[in-house]
Amino acid sequence: MNIYIINPLLTMRTYRKTYSQADCFVQELKKQFESFDIYCYIMNDVTKYFDKIEKDSIIIIFNDESFAVNKNITELLCLAKEKNVTIFPVAMDKQTRNPLEIIADKQSYDVWEQLRCRDLSDDYIPLVACCFARKIIAIIMPTFYSESGLIFISHRRLDGEDITAKLCDTLSVQFKECKIFRDVTSVAVGEEAQKKIDKAMVESDVFIFVHTPMSAESEWIQKELRFAIIRNIPILWVRIDNADINKLKIVPSEKPHLNYSSDDFNNDKLSKIADEIINKAFELLRTKVNVVFDYNNVLRKLFNEDIKQLDNNKMIFNVDVKRKGYRYPQRNINQYIQLFGRTPILSDEESFNNYLSNLNNEYDSSVILTNKIVKSKENNNIIIESYEDFIFHWDKYLKKPIVNKNKEIIISGAFPDGEEIYKQTLTDALVIFAKSILKSGYILTFGSHPTFQELFFEISHLIYPDNYKNHLKMYISKWFEDKYIHSKEYYKANSEFNEIKKENTLNESLTKMRKEMIQRKEVSALVCLGGKIKKNKSEEGIREEISLAVEYGIPTFVVGSVGGGSSIVASEYKISNCQVLNDAPMKLNNEFGQSLDYVMLSRKLLDYLNEKQ
């Protein structure tokens, strides 16, 4: 499959500000495509490509209705439409949202809207170009993404069974390619219900959380939400009858994605509701594809010249590593791996086996890597393994272990403004950083946040089931004591719980808490993500925390791509001098400011800290 980008110079006015932004956009596209060995052609003279355009080609064109497009481009687009070629129009701003008349039926990729949804400035155009590139790569590489997976419906039977039944029936009719799991109908009489539910959670591609007023009382729903968030499964939050958000112990985002009344499910709105829900669900799923690209980059970095890509579309690799720790010569460890962003199914395993049988050579093991499992398992002579565990075990084998006893890394995070779908990027980043920090032996330290503390508790339980509380430190100001008084023992059971004496005002109390949390010799680094943007910058907590860390000489890293306050701060320090934050290379600080690859960032952070020891 070939990708053709029509040079923006041919369709946009060069004096427009957006022309230079489009050029920046194109350079990021090229960079992303090349990183996956996908070659893209920049078309300067489109007539040279008339006989090269095939059905499986992809054409990218930049909109600008005010510019007189030449006849050759019109002819190229006519030819492309005749061959059913995939065409992606790109709108760099609000004024260029409408494509050329000949492709008016195509929906433009709206760069301005993508930035708005993420609460980002124009400085982050390369980031939305990266998202666009990965959307196209996911089309080319079918193991990364699919819209025909398993949808798990999480609901409370007591007050949600009736509307969930109606929703599931409608979804099953309107979206036959998807499988819908609802415990009442999907578990047969005589089957072990919880075993079947757990299996469905593991295999699901999307969670739909039907939040009814009695949902907060269900421990099972809390368990399902934790499970999905920690394993990077997208959660669509559908609130019914203004159910109280404050009663939920854990939430997938700051606010629900969709809101309805229970009466909406009793009339002709149901079909439209089903459409809205499924479209939002798979929009969420598309945003989650980034983590697979991230892991792909980590694997290449981990193995360097010892990993070779054998099939670009199927994402099959060969790992050939010299064995360690034996006196006499041995053959290398030879392993084949295949990368998945969606849930692998039986036919995927069979296809991988067939591919390997045609190679006719000896190897130690074959592994399918996916985020969609909890524990390693073996099917059809293929090991199904999570990316995290695969990288963790290979890391231990290839590198000398670093002991970080009693050393801490602080995570500072808060939801930014913007569209709810994109706020889950912050949650994803928090989960990834938390897992990396804890697995590396550091203590994870954080200030109280109702949503994030529950995630950190759960992650620590997962990694250290026998002594989870020893790996977390939680700080909170006694200013809020009346709100957490009933949860104090719970906090103490799950972390080293630190209450800080309150001062005369809220701001003074928060400053004292932040200072006591950050300015200590045990703290190795501060990682900042998100945060609300305020007119008065001095009111932004993230800025005060950075100032306190810098004052005490603690290396500070600011993640810009999650939006909000950290995106503004990252841009400011890029313009001025990142060396104020830390003594890490400028390249690493720029990556923290722009990259979506949080697994890679967390590993680079830990490498930097380990080198300082």
Return d(Cα 291, Cα 412) in angstroms, integer. Answer: 21
Length of the chain in terms of residues written:
613
Q: Which two tokens stand for residue 309?
A: 């890509």
Q: Three-state SS for 215?
A: helix
Per-residue 3-state assignment (H helix, E strand, C coil) for 456-510: HHHHHHHHCCCCHHHHEEEEEEHHHHHHHHHHHHHHHHHCEEEEECCCCCHHHHH
- Is the model's pLDDT at 191 over the cut of 50? no
> Cβ(132)–Cβ(187) under 8 Å?
no
- Name the residue with higher pLDDT: 410 or 232: 410
Q: Do domains 150-288 and 299-398 have the same CATH topology?
A: no
Q: Half-sphere exposure (CA, 13 Å, Cβ side) for 515? A: 10
**Which option is the CATH number for 299-398: 1.20.950, 3.40.1350, 2.60.40, 1.10.287?**
3.40.1350
The residue type at 567:
S
Return d(Cα 49, Cα 158) in angstroms, integer. Answer: 62
Query: Band of the pLDDT at 119, cuts 50, 70, 90?
Result: confident
**Interval 329-350 mean pLDDT:** 91
* Mean of all residue pLDDT scores within the chain: 88
Residues 6+ apart with CB under 8 A from 610: 402
Q: Which two tokens stand for residue 547?
A: 């100032």
Tell me which residue of 384, 388, 230 sits closest to 299, measured CA to CA: 388
The domain locations on the chain are: 3-140, 150-288, 299-398, 408-612
Query: Band of the pLDDT at 91, cuts 50, 70, 90?
Result: very high
What is the DSSP-derived secondary structure letter of residue 2?
-
Tell me which residue of 445, 435, 451 sits closest to 225, measured CA to CA: 451
> Cβ(386)–Cβ(369) under 8 Å?
yes
Return d(Cα 597, Cα 58) in angstroms, integer. Answer: 25
- DSSP-derived pairing of the beta strands 382-386 and 377-379: antiparallel
Q: What is the pTM of this model?
A: 0.85
Cα angle 179, 229, 205; round to 5: 20
| Block residue for tokens 């819209």 | 147
Residues 6+ apart with CB under 8 A from 114: 128, 131, 132
Among 40-54, 370-384, 487-501, the range scoring the smallest mean pLDDT is 370-384
Query: Band of the pLDDT at 185, cuts 50, 70, 90?
Result: low
pLDDT digits (tens, 9 = 90+) for 260-308: 999 999 877 888 898 889 888 888 887 778 888 899 999 999 999 999 9
- Is the model's pLDDT at 343 over the cut of 90? no
Per CATH, the homologous superfamily of domain 150-288 is Toll/interleukin-1 receptor homology (TIR) domain (3.40.50.10140)
Q: Cα separations (Å) of 455 from 78, 446, 574?
A: 52, 12, 31
pLDDT of 557 reads: 96
> In the chain, how long is the greatest CA-to-CA distance?
76
Of 196-200, 290-294, 582-586, 602-606, highest mean pLDDT: 602-606
Rounded to 10°, the helix 270-287/420-439 angle is 40
pLDDT of 236 reads: 93
Task: Write out the DSSP string of 499-564.
Answer: EE---SSHHHHHHHHHHHHHSSTTEEEEEEEE----SSGGG-HHHHHHHHHHHTT--EEEE-TT-T
5 forms beta bridges with 42, 60
| Block residue for tokens 């913007």 | 418
The burial of 64, by beta-carbon neighbours within 10 Å (0-12 exposed, 13-18 middle, 19 or more buried), is given as buried
- Is the model's pLDDT at 184 over the cut of 60? no
> Cβ(18)–Cβ(8) under 8 Å?
no
Return d(Cα 74, Cα 104) in angstroms, integer. Answer: 12
Q: Three-state SS for 359?
A: coil
Query: Band of the pLDDT at 189, cuts 50, 70, 90?
Result: very low
- Name the residue with higher pLDDT: 548 or 177: 548
Report residue 488 CA to chain centroid gap.
32
Q: Which CATH architecture has domain 408-612?
A: 3-Layer(aba) Sandwich (3.40)
Tell me which residue of 315, 320, 313, 351 sits closest to 334, measured CA to CA: 320
Q: Which two tokens stand for residue 449?
A: 């946040």
CATH topology of domain 3-140: Rossmann fold (3.40.50)
